Amino acid sequence: MGDISGSAVAPRDSTSLVIGATAAQIIGGLVPQMSPFVIAGLIDGLSLSERDAGLVASVEMLSLAATAILVAPFLSRFSFRPLSLFAIVITLAAQSSSIFADEWNSLVLLRALAGLGEGTLYAMSLGIVASHCLNPERIFGYFQLVWAIGSVALFSAGGEITEAFAHRGIFTLLVGMSLALAPLVFLAPNVRAVNAKTGAAAVSFLGILLFGAIVLYVAVSAGLFAFSGPIGERAGLNTSMVGYILTASTMIGLVGAGAATALNVRFGRVLPITGFCLGYILVVLMLCLWHDPVAYSAAVIGSAVLYYFSLPYLFGLAAALDQTGRWAAVAGSANLFGFAVGPVFAGAVIGASGYVSLAVISCAMIAAAWLLAIYIISRGFNGRSFSKRLPTA
């Protein structure tokens, strides 16, 4: 790879880059998004226990998250398109082979391999935006808009296909989606991140703190989402009604993603981060302490709006730490780790001491995440990210 001096400057926030990065983000994050159907398909199709099916999904999630962390420091060494091609080939090979896998051991290996490709794409999608785009929060907001809109169709199709064809159906859907999106990935410019090491030690410390903040915040969100069914039953709702409310919350969650995209960092980062943390504390209290269907519905919808609103700011804060994009990629990994540990955390607390304890601990975790984020912002990261220049391949 050549030196960046005198290199061409890629157009900032170009449409082709946004489309390519979004496609890479979706391919990389499809399985976490569709994990309920993957687990259900494995249980129905291969007669696996809930524990064994959950373990298959967990292995892939952990492989995906670990790969995103491991790839992050090397993003400045590789151009976008060759690395994307490598990751897509691995992902498609593992996804396609999973359709015909009939044994648990082979499935675990294939899903771990799929996580390798998916994690690379997920890290690259965040890294190229952080390194290239003038307003990363806005682009990350676009990501959430696409997820919110696409999830409605994906959940409907995933449910029907899994019901009809079990694990073979859901894996075929994943392959089809990945194949359809793969050409769009290569619309992004064939660029690599800037290799900047100024203040590396200080930035690394802040990056680690942000990793912890995101894991804490997302673990609370994922834990409450995982137990939204039992919490809804406590509020007097049946499973069917809970499903309708979750579908509605996904659609209304567009408001959060749209607000983050529109506001960007116009008012800095302190105000929006403080706002969604306070809002999520209210959501936690309503879900865990109020046994009322109206309060439950409002809290579930509110949690979706806040989640889609919050991620662009958390990823954007990571993007502001340095111009290599590596901390944005690590932030994506933190999001995945939070999703992996959240249900385990919530289940353990509920089993040990009930929902009141879950409310207290969750609020403390949100407060800790807020404190960490505010400390990072206080070190000079409250406004826009710096100007970014990229070397061509």
DSSP annotation string for 26-84: HHHHHHHHTHHHHHHHHHHHH---HHHHHHHHHHHHHHHHHHHHHHGGGGGGS-HHHHH
DSSP annotation string for 125-142: HHHHHHHH-S-HHHHHHH
CA dihedral 26, 373, 342, 75 (to 10 degrees): 40
Q: Does any domain span residue 228?
A: yes
Q: Does any domain span residue 87?
A: yes
137-151, 202-216, 236-250, 259-273: segment of lowest average pLDDT: 236-250
* Residue at which a domain ends, from 143, 159, 185: 185
pTM: 0.78
Q: Does any domain span residue 291?
A: yes
Q: Does any domain span residue 178?
A: yes
d(CA 250, CA 146): 11
Asked if residue 167 and residue 204 are part of one domain, the reply reads no
Asked if residue 166 and residue 240 are part of one domain, the reply reads no
Asked if residue 347 and residue 277 are part of one domain, the reply reads yes
Task: Please write the tens of the pLDDT for every residue from 14-60.
Answer: 889 999 999 999 999 998 878 878 877 888 899 888 678 877 887 88
Per-residue pLDDT, 280 = 97
* Residue at which a domain ends, from 127, 153, 185: 185
Asked if residue 362 and residue 279 are part of one domain, the reply reads yes
Provide the 3-class DSSP secondary structure of residue 383: coil
d(CA 114, CA 105): 14
CB burial string 254-282: b at 16+ within 10 A, e below: bebbbebbebbbeeebeebbeebbebbbe
* Residue at which a domain ends, from 150, 185, 220: 185
Asked if residue 129 and residue 37 are part of one domain, the reply reads yes
Task: Please write the tens of the pLDDT for every residue from 272-331.
Answer: 999 999 999 999 999 999 989 999 999 999 999 999 999 999 988 988 887 777 888 888
Q: Does any domain span residue 5?
A: no
Task: Please write the tens of the pLDDT for every residue from 335-383.
Answer: 888 887 888 788 888 888 899 999 999 999 999 999 999 999 998 776 5
Asked if residue 359 and residue 328 are part of one domain, the reply reads yes
Structure tokens at 57: 């999904």
Structure tokens at 289: 């302490």
Provide the number of structural domains found in the chain.
2
| CATH number where 136 lies | 1.20.1250.20
Helix (H) or strand (E) holding 313: helix 293-321
Asked if residue 211 and residue 172 are part of one domain, the reply reads no
Give every CB contact of residue 288 below 8 A, 6+ residues apart in sequence.
231, 355, 356, 358, 359, 362
Residue pair 169/34 in contact (Cβ under 8 Å)? The answer is no
Asked if residue 133 and residue 239 are part of one domain, the reply reads no
Work out the number of other CB atoms within 10 angstroms of the CB of residue 351: 8
Per-residue pLDDT, 370 = 97
Asked if residue 41 and residue 173 are part of one domain, the reply reads yes
Give residue 220's domain range: 200-378
Structure tokens at 228: 């939204």
Q: Does any domain span residue 177?
A: yes
Asked if residue 354 and residue 290 are part of one domain, the reply reads yes
Asked if residue 302 and residue 154 are part of one domain, the reply reads no
β strands within the chain, DSSP E = none
Asked if residue 286 and residue 259 are part of one domain, the reply reads yes
DSSP class of 195: -
Q: Does any domain span residue 391?
A: no
Residue in the structure block whose two tokens are 């089993």: 351
Q: Does any domain span residue 190?
A: no
